[in-house]
Amino acid sequence: MSITRDDALAWIKAVAGVINTNSTYLTQLDAAIGDADHGANMDRGFKAVLNKMPEISDKDIGTIFKTTGMTLISTVGGAGGPLYGTFFLQAGTKTVGKMELSLSDWAEALESALSGVLMRGKAELGDKTMVDALTPAVNALKQAIKDNQPINKALGLSAEAAKAGMEGTIPLVARKGRASYLGERSAGHQDPGATSTYLILNAAAETWKEVA
């Protein structure tokens, strides 16, 4: 079995839903160490993405991801737009022309997304950013492929690793972004970017759990 174009569309719609549901929560997290706008910004961006869905619902997966990325760049304020836009643009570059994805295709797309985020944000693992959720998620996915796990199991393991990475940001002192201005006071707070990254990846695991 594979991840189809319709599965990809369903994931984007699920992400928009989970971001909307958790918008206030994400903003509360951001209020503690940032500009108190992460949830609202992400929600606005994905609502704009939903408005684009009718135009791209018959396109290949790469086009769907690239359109999502460009829309986020143009509608999400602050650092989130370029970072999450880059995430989807890079994933789209790896999946261009594809109407379905194997687990390896998805892992390559996610690894490319991580590389793009690292280059764009200049953050490293441990800096208290979305990288802290995305990096372990990619590593877990690659390990699951080595272990010959089915797609749904691999996606679940990837999401679990993202969640652990997200929770691991709580004791960290931020070294990037607005939170870094707080220095030691940023410790004790969960990073909002790592949180939204977990929500995005968990939405994939939930949406594609029937894909064996």
Within-domain flag for 50: yes
Give the residue-averaged pLDDT of 133-156. 97
Give the model confidence (pLDDT) of 79-111 as tens digits.
889 999 999 999 999 999 999 999 999 999 999
For the chain, report the end-to-end CA distance as a whole number of angstroms. Answer: 6
pLDDT score for 197: 98
Specify if 38 maps to a domain.
Answer: yes
Average pLDDT over residues 148-177: 93
What CA–CA distance (Å, rounded) separates 193 from 166?
A: 9
Q: Residue 46: what residue type?
A: F
102 within a domain of the structure (yes/no) = yes
Task: Output the pLDDT for position 212.
Answer: 67
As for how many domains the chain has, the answer is 1
Structural domain contains residue 8:
yes
pLDDT band of residue 52 (cuts 50, 70, 90) is: very high
Judged against a pLDDT cut of 90, whether residue 69 lies above it is answered with: yes
> Domain limits at 189?
3-207
CATH of the domain at 158: 1.25.40.340
In degrees and rounded to multiples of 5, residue 102 shows phi and psi of: -85, 175
- pLDDT band of residue 49 (cuts 50, 70, 90) is very high
pLDDT tens per residue across span 175-199: 877 777 677 877 989 999 999 999 9
- Choose among 209, 170, 152, 201: nearest CA to 19: 201
| pLDDT score recorded for residue 79 | 83
CA-angle at 142, arms to 199 and 98, nearest 5°:
75
Instruction: Give me the mean pLDDT over the 23-31 stretch.
Output: 95
Residue 74, burial from CB neighbour count under 10 angstroms (0-12, 13-18, 19+)? exposed
Tens-place pLDDT, residues 32-48: 988 899 999 999 999 99
Q: What is the pLDDT of residue 11?
A: 98
Please report whether residue 49 resides in a domain: yes
How confident is the model over 54-63, as a mean pLDDT? 96
Residue 3: strand pairing partners: 101
Helices (runs of H) and strands (runs of E) counted in the chain: 9, 2
Q: Give phi and psi for 160, each to the nearest 5.
A: -65, -40
Residue 25 maps to a domain = yes
Q: Give domain status of residue 202, yes or no.
A: yes
Q: Is residue 186 part of a domain?
A: yes
Mean pLDDT in the chain? 94
CB-CB contact of 155 with 208 (8 Å): yes
